[in-house]
Amino acid sequence: MSLMKFCRECNNILYPKEDKRQKVLLFACRNCDHQEVAENNCVYRNEVHHSASERTQVLLDVASDPSLPRTKAVRCKECNHEEVVFFQATARGEEGMTLFYVCCNSSCGHRWRD
């Protein structure tokens, strides 16, 4: 069973969102207006807790973490491999979220920030 849900309209990740008026949990796209009612009210949330300096040296274990989403829409900048793991995190001293990518090619493991 996949933990990630993707938008049927634009294929972006759907994020959990509470509809307080109807008292239901939704999964909504941040890119378009698509949203759908969740099958249940449980949401798994993966959080990365590291300092900013540790995050710039992401461990290769991230590429094998089954809770992190993978995409073939972004290719590795180093070896051009077609699958990467990605996650968002807040760097200390910076505002907003930073998107990090890690190549899934075990002989490469290149990592970069977007």
pLDDT in tens, 49-106: 555 444 444 555 677 777 788 888 888 989 999 998 888 776 666 677 778 888 888 8
Q: Does the pLDDT value for residue 108 go beyond 60?
A: yes
Q: Return the CATH number at 14.
A: 2.20.25.10
Give the pLDDT confidence score for residue 79 in this predicted structure. 94
Q: In a 10 Å sphere around its CB, with 0-12 CB exposed, 13-18 middle and 19+ buried, how is residue 100 labelled?
A: buried
pLDDT band at 15 (very low <50, low <70, confident <90, very high): confident
Tell whether 104 is in a known binding site: no
Structural domain tally of the chain?
Answer: 2
pTM: 0.46
Tell me if 79 is assigned to a ligand binding site.
yes
Range of the domain at 56: 52-113
- Is 108 labelled a binding residue? yes
The overall longest dimension of the chain from CA atoms, in Å, is 50
75 and 34 inside one domain? no
